[in-house]
């Protein structure tokens, strides 16, 4: 499903896992094979669920808009 995120096209992809980047920020792993940062950095990014393991696990299967899919970018993993 195609969606608009901040006036940019994106394709909805479910979250399948997480890892931390080199700076310690959380990165969602999407079913399409792309990664997307999921920072809690109010007021720009309000994602308090990233702060706990229970919160992150509760979002497995939820969809995020993937701009890398629209751009035809190669997979980040898998």
* 43-50: average pLDDT: 91
* 28-40: average pLDDT: 96
Is-contact 40 52, C-beta < 8 A?
no
**Could you tell me where the beta strands, DSSP code E, fall in the chain?**
2-5, 8-20, 26-30, 35-37, 63-66
Q: Give me the pLDDT at residue 5, please.
A: 56
pTM higher than 0.85: yes
Whether 21 has a pLDDT exceeding 60, the answer reads yes
Q: Give me the pLDDT at residue 43, please.
A: 87
Whether 6 has a pLDDT exceeding 90, the answer reads no
């Amino acid at each position: 499903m195609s969606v608009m995120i901040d006036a940019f096209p994106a394709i909805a992809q479910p979250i399948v896992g997480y890892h931390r980047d080199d700076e310690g920020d959380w990165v969602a792993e999407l079913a399409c094979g792309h990664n997307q940062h999921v920072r809690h950095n109010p007021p720009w990014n309000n994602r308090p669920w990233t702060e706990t393991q229970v919160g992150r696990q509760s979002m497995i299967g939820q969809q995020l808009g993937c701009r890398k899919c629209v751009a035809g970018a190669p997979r980040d993993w898998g």
